[in-house]
Amino acid sequence: MLLARFLSRIIRVGRLELVDASGQHHVFAGAPGPIVAVRLHDKALHGKFIINPRLSVPEAYMDGTLTIEQGDIYAFLDLLARNDELMVDTLVWRLAARLARLTRRLHQYNPVARSRRNVAHHYDLSDELYDLFLDRDRQYSCAYFLGADDDIDTAQLNKRRHIAAKLLLRPGRKVLAVAGAGSRSISRASAALTSPASRFRPSSSRSRSAAPRRPALPTACALCCATTARSAGNTTALFRSACSSMSASGSTRSSSPR
């Protein structure tokens, strides 16, 4: 089987036992590492895994056409990650990457009708689905869990307070947020910051208290701003300005990453 020959060149760390869609058993082993056994239930996966494993493997796991019989998904991902460098250096992978570059314009062709279908496919989902994993303001970006007991609403409020603190928001200042929910959440966060009873509290014991009448900021705040500033766009200047303001005012100190 072509997939078996492909995997025999790839797996150099850990042990992978594979039962293919034809029922044949294969073992690929290298240096000590994760031990995983998987079973394929669709013969089409034999070719898909060679051409585009980064897409086809997670899709197969979600669809149930790939099942893990020994170990778990974390061990499986660990095994793949440790052998990823060898995977992308194979001839088949390089040919597939070159073909993808040649056909990129075809995949990027996006007329109005197709764009509408794409938007509907992504956004026209039920409220019940979003209620399963988003907070009440439907915030997409990552939440900030300060403690093990924080629920998603609390963690999202932590994040919004953190952003508001970085921007040094004060009563009377205006914020432009490109989204209705974003505007509401930033407003709530800035209001919370002005309340002494509910000010944002740093997660690190190394953090120093902020200057009077300023919200306390986490130790890594300046580092976080600098990291965000690497991304392109107008956000860069905004966060650099916020970092400069905090540094000049002495409202935060940052320690070197460890």
Looking at the structure of the chain, the number of domains it has is: 2
Which secondary-structure segment (H or E) carries 131? helix 127-131
Distance (Å, whole) CA 79 – CA 68: 13
Q: What is the pTM of this model?
A: 0.48
Q: What is the pLDDT of residues 218-244, one digit of tens each?
A: 333 333 333 333 333 444 444 444 445
83 and 169 co-located in one domain? no
- Average pLDDT over the chain, rounded to an integer: 73
* Residue 196: band (very low, low, confident or very high) from pLDDT cuts 50, 70, 90: very low
Parallel/antiparallel/unpaired status of strands 66-70 and 31-40: antiparallel
Is 179 among the domain residues? yes
Last residue of a domain, one of 67, 89, 111: 89
Q: Which residues contact 242 (CB under 8 A, 6 or more apart)?
A: 166, 167, 168, 225
Is 106 domain-assigned?
no
Q: Which domain holds residue 188?
A: 152-249
Of 59, 89, 119, which residue constitutes the final position of a domain? 89
Residues 6+ apart with CB under 8 A from 95: none
User: For residue 34, what are its two tokens?
Assistant: 């994760």
Last residue of a domain, one of 41, 72, 89: 89
Q: Is residue 97 part of a domain?
A: no
pLDDT at 192 over 90: no
